[in-house]
Amino acid sequence: MFQLKRYRGIAAVSAGLLVWLAILDIFLTAVAGFSGRWLPNAEVPTDTTVYQVTGAKLSEMLAKPEQVGVGTDHPFGVLLGQSSLGASVDSEALAEYDGLPMRWLNLHGWGSSVNLVGDVAELLFLSGLKPNVVVIGINPFMLIGMNFPTQHALQAADEGKRLKPWIWVYNNRFAVNQAGRVLTHRTKLELCRMFGFGIGAIYPPPSDHSKPSPRKRLAPESPAMQAQRLELYRKLGFFEPQRYRPDSSNARTLVKLIRESRKRGAKVCIVLMPESSAFRRQVPVQGERCFAEINRLSFPDDPVPIYDLRDRISDDMFTDVVHPNVDAMRPISMLVGRCVGDLLSEHPSPERLRSEDALATGKEATGRDQTSAR
């Protein structure tokens, strides 16, 4: 027979613990509030999967017998960016079109912010690799970035009271979870720096060396979905001219990326990745001008070449407003290859890559693909 007296002590302790946790939660709600604003630069933290994939790519490169990069006989190039770069450039195709015996590594992440590109580049710099070329493939809106408190507020508004803002643990679950992961990552990086461990000590190369399955063509977003996405970007401030400033957090990170890459002997260029016309029309001209202003203020004697590919593919080649479909990768890779060739010429001139040249290049790449498929 069940005897309640035997469990009275456990029940009392459990009830007391719940009351204590409730009081602690109420205290945190009153004193701390929403913790998202404590995140660095108020950005959504870099996904830990990005660190793992990037670290594994770098470790695999370091494990190969031949030396690559500056000071060796094997030139080495790195692509830094976010998901729009990953959807646009195939590193193997780029190696075909750059006209050089260059090996390429695409270290794109995701998150739509230059600050998050900096997180990925930090692993590159820690690895000790010295690329001959660094291509920073980004979009102007990444100078504004994805503000996590703003996103959280928009999500809360969309979901009504489902986020339960009066329950601190629930309201801050994502920020606390990601902050813990980022802290673990930072601790690993510091241990590597202090004790000279290689990048492979924390992110070893994958044991399975089979190639990932090829990308498949995705159905383009519907007009309604596209309009919804554009409205979200409007609320995040991507279309506000005053938000594009050369002294912003993301702009400062871009300057740091360029300086750190050049310090290691790399030639650096910025490639503005393709955007659909619906999105591009709403981005203010200040977005493009901000890059020129960064050059004027930070690199007056040796400006970074900036290649604008935003209008180089047609709208039917996008899955959404900023991510090209798989059939656009080869034409875009060819265009980036032309940018690299220009960068390494005696007098880099970004304006040399004009729209008509890009269109001809894109048709040439598409024609080659069709011929090889027969």
In tens, the pLDDT along 307-339 reads: 999 999 999 999 999 999 999 999 999 999 999
- Distance (Å, whole) CA 276 – CA 128: 37
Mean local confidence (pLDDT), 165-190: 82
Residue bearing the bigger pLDDT, 82 or 213: 82
Residue 166, C-beta contacts closer than 8 angstroms, at least 6 positions apart:
29
Residue 273, C-beta contacts closer than 8 angstroms, at least 6 positions apart:
81, 84, 85, 88, 137, 138, 139, 309, 310, 322, 332
Residue 289 has pLDDT above 90, yes or no: yes
Is 16 contained in some domain? no
Is 90 contained in some domain? yes
Residue 349 pLDDT level (bands cut at 50, 70, 90) = low
On whether the CB atoms of residues 54 and 120 are closer than 8 A, the answer is: yes
Residue 51: C-alpha distances to residues 40, 62, 259, 364, 371 (Å): 17, 16, 22, 36, 38
Residue bearing the bigger pLDDT, 151 or 37: 151
pLDDT at 181: 80
- Range picked from 32-41, 47-56, 114-123, 148-157 for highest mean pLDDT: 114-123
Number of domains in the chain: 1
Is 4 contained in some domain? no
Is 176 contained in some domain? no
- Token pair of 63, please? 């494990």
Point out the least confidently predicted range of 17-21, 206-210, 269-273: 206-210
Is 206 contained in some domain? no
Residue 37 has pLDDT above 80, yes or no: no
- Token pair of 136, please? 């920073």
pTM: 0.84
- Structural domain including 316 reads 44-154+219-373
How many residues would you count in the chain?
374
- Range picked from 67-71, 152-156, 278-282, 352-356 for highest mean pLDDT: 278-282
Query: What does pLDDT average to over the chain?
Result: 84
- Number of Cβ within a 10 Å radius of residue 52: 15
Point out the least confidently predicted range of 71-75, 177-181, 270-274, 345-349: 345-349
Is 200 contained in some domain? no
Residue 354 has pLDDT above 50, yes or no: no
The string of pLDDT tens digits covering residues 126-163 is 998 999 999 999 999 999 998 888 888 887 777 766 67
CATH at residue 235: 3.40.50.1110
Short-list 353, 259, 349, CA closest to 305: 349
pLDDT at 283: 95
**306 beta partners:** 270
Mean local confidence (pLDDT), 111-125: 93
Residue bearing the bigger pLDDT, 177 or 254: 254
Residue 116 has pLDDT above 90, yes or no: yes
Is 37 contained in some domain? no
Q: What percent of the chain has pLDDT over 90?
A: 47
* Residue 342 main-chain phi, psi, to 5 deg: -70, -40
Is 172 contained in some domain? no
- Token pair of 122, please? 């930090």
Q: Secondary structure of the chain in the HEC alphabet?
A: CCCHHHHHHHHHHHHHHHHHHHHHHHHHHHHCCCHHHHCHHHECCCCHHHHHHHHHHHHHHHHCCCCCCCCCCCCEEEEEECHHHHCCCCHHHHHHHCCCCCEEEECCCCCCCHHHHHHHHHHHHHHCCCCCEEEEEECHHHHCCCEHHHHHHHHHHHHCCCCCCCCHHHHCHHHHHHHHHHHHHHHHHHHHHHHCCCHHHCCCCCCCCCCCCCCCCCCCCCHHHHHHHHHHHHHCCCCCHHHCCCCCHHHHHHHHHHHHHHHCCCEEEEEECCCCHHHHCCCCHHHHHHHHHHHHHHCCCCCCCEEECCCCCCHHHECCCCCECHHHHHHHHHHHHHHHHHHCCCCCCHHHCCHHHHHHHHHHHHHHHHHHHC
Residue 282, C-beta contacts closer than 8 angstroms, at least 6 positions apart:
230, 233, 234, 238, 239
Residue 355 has pLDDT above 50, yes or no: no
Residue 36 pLDDT level (bands cut at 50, 70, 90) = confident
pLDDT at 369: 45
pLDDT at 156: 76
